[in-house]
């Protein structure tokens, strides 16, 4: 039978040895606040990406093109909407998500592992540029720093506003066509959160970040109240070997592996380390942008 499990990534080739060694190496450079922000932004994106698969499958949304790209676009637009509502540092968090993909691409290259050109997913470096393009396209007049930091060339950048508008309109269509009845989630909860124990290295810290963020609870409630889902959905935080997140329509379960959070923590430390030793680690954030050209 054809598998119906949709994962967020094909990054399985990257090993745990690398993960553990690097985590020890960079322990000295820990800046907990930025690490927490980086990890949680990536957790939220990954959850939203899987929730997008849920919506596509359960509501039978029309998808022309690759489902994985659609899921990334839904997650990026949803993340921008969420940050606008909560007042969270939007550009920093979206950059954390984009940077995560760029770093994954670089790590594959560093390990001399062949890139998964055949994969369901768009290549990591393309996911980086796609997210950058949507975020820039949402407000091109005020986000030129994103072009500078990412190196997104004019050939693509001139279409980013259109790409954003198309994705935004599709999102609006989704809400208009499939909006739930704003029911009380206590009465008819369709979305269930399950937390397994997290025994991983750094598991205690990651667990406290996850639980205090209330991100899973907020997203579960959003899914529950904004959409009329035809059946129950489980979001399960679980111990599994590979760092991944996936949607399995056979069991109607999103599985989020704790090891993916460890992976994000590792990436956070790598990004911090790269920025500390490089002059080209610019920020997307308006406030941090001086207008001075960066080398």
Cβ closest to Zn ion, residue 6 vs residue 26:
6
Cβ distance to Zn ion smaller for residue 49 or 143? 49
Shortest Å, Cβ 126 to Zn ion: 14
Whichever of 35 and 68 has its CB closer to Zn ion, that residue is 68
Please give the size of the binding site for Zn ion, defined by CB under 5 A.
3
Half-sphere exposure of 79 (CA within 13 A, CB side): 31
The total number of residues shown for the chain amounts to 295
C-alpha span between 53 and 38 (Å, rounded): 23
| Residues 270-274: contacts with CB under 8 Å, at least 24 apart | 270/22, 270/26, 270/103, 270/107, 271/38, 271/96, 271/99, 271/100, 271/103, 272/26, 272/29, 272/31, 272/34, 272/35, 273/26, 273/29, 274/103
What is the CA angle 283-267-192, rounded to 5?
Answer: 105
Comparing every residue's Cβ against Zn ion, the nearest one is 6
Which of the residues 119 through 138 are near Zn ion (CB under 5 A)?
none
What sign results for the dihedral spanned by CA atoms 121, 69, 55, 139? positive
Based on CB atoms, which residue is closest to Zn ion, 234 or 273? 234
Q: According to the binding rule CB under 5 A, does residue 102 interact with Zn ion? A: no
Distance CA(108)–CA(123), nearest Å, equals: 11
Least separation in angstroms between CB 43 and Zn ion: 15
Residue 131 C-beta: closest distance to Zn ion, Å? 14
- According to CB under 5 A, which one of 6, 36, 102, 269 is a site residue for Zn ion? 6
Q: Which stretch binds Zn ion (CB under 5 A): 6-14, 85-93, 183-191, 249-257?
A: 6-14
Give the shortest CB-246-to-Zn ion separation in angstroms.
Answer: 8
**Which CB sits closer to Zn ion, 53 or 190?**
53
State the burial class of residue 293 (Cβ atoms within 10 Å of its Cβ: 0-12, 13-18, 19+): exposed
Nearer to Zn ion, 71 or 219 (CB): 71
Chain centre distance of CA 58: 21
Least distance (Å) from Zn ion to the CB of residue 118?
A: 16
Quick note: the x/- pattern for Zn ion over 213-242, rule CB under 5 A, is: ------------------------------
* Near Zn ion in 31-90, by CB under 5 A: 68, 71
Min dist CB 97 to Zn ion, Å, is 14
CB of 72 to Zn ion, least distance (A): 8
Determine the 3-state secondary structure of 61 from DSSP: coil
Closer CB to Zn ion, 71 or 191, in the complex: 71
Counting Cβ atoms within 10 Å, is residue 164 exposed (0-12), middle (13-18) or buried (19+)? Answer: buried
Distances (CA, A) of 36 to 42, 56, 251, 264, 286: 10, 30, 31, 10, 21
Interacting residues with Zn ion (CB under 5 A): 6, 68, 71
């Amino acid at each position: 039978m054809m598998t119906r499990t949709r994962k967020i990534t094909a990054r399985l080739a990257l090993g745990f040895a690398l993960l553990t060694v690097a985590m020890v190496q960079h322990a000295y450079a820990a800046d907990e606040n930025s690490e927490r922000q980086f990890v949680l932004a990536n957790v939220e994106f990954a959850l939203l990406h899987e929730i997008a698969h849920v919506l596509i499958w359960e509501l039978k949304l029309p998808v022309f093109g690759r489902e994985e790209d659609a899921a990334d676009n839904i997650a990026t637009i949803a993340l921008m909407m969420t940050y606008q509502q909560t007042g969270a540092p939007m550009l920093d968090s979206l950059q954390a998500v984009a940077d995560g993909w760029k770093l994954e691409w670089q790590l594959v290259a560093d390990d001399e592992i062949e890139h998964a050109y055949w994969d369901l997913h768009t290549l990591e470096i393309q996911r980086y540029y796609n997210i950058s393009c949507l975020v820039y396209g949402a407000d091109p007049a005020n986000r030129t720093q994103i072009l500078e930091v990412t190196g997104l060339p004019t050939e693509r950048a001139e279409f980013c506003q259109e790409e954003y508008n198309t994705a935004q309109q599709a999102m609006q269509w989704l809400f208009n066509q499939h909006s739930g009845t704003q029911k009380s989630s206590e009465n008819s909860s369709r979305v269930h959160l399950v937390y397994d124990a997290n025994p991983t290295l750094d598991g205690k810290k990651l667990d406290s970040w996850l639980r205090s963020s209330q991100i899973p609870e907020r997203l579960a409630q959003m899914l529950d109240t904004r959409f009329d889902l035809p059946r129950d959905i489980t979001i399960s935080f679980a111990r599994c070997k590979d760092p991944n997140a996936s949607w399995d329509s056979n069991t109607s379960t999103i599985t989020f592996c704790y090891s993916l959070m460890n992976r994000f923590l590792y990436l956070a430390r790598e990004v911090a380390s790269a920025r500390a030793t490089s002059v080209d680690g610019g920020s997307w954030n308006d406030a941090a942008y001086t207008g001075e050209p960066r080398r």
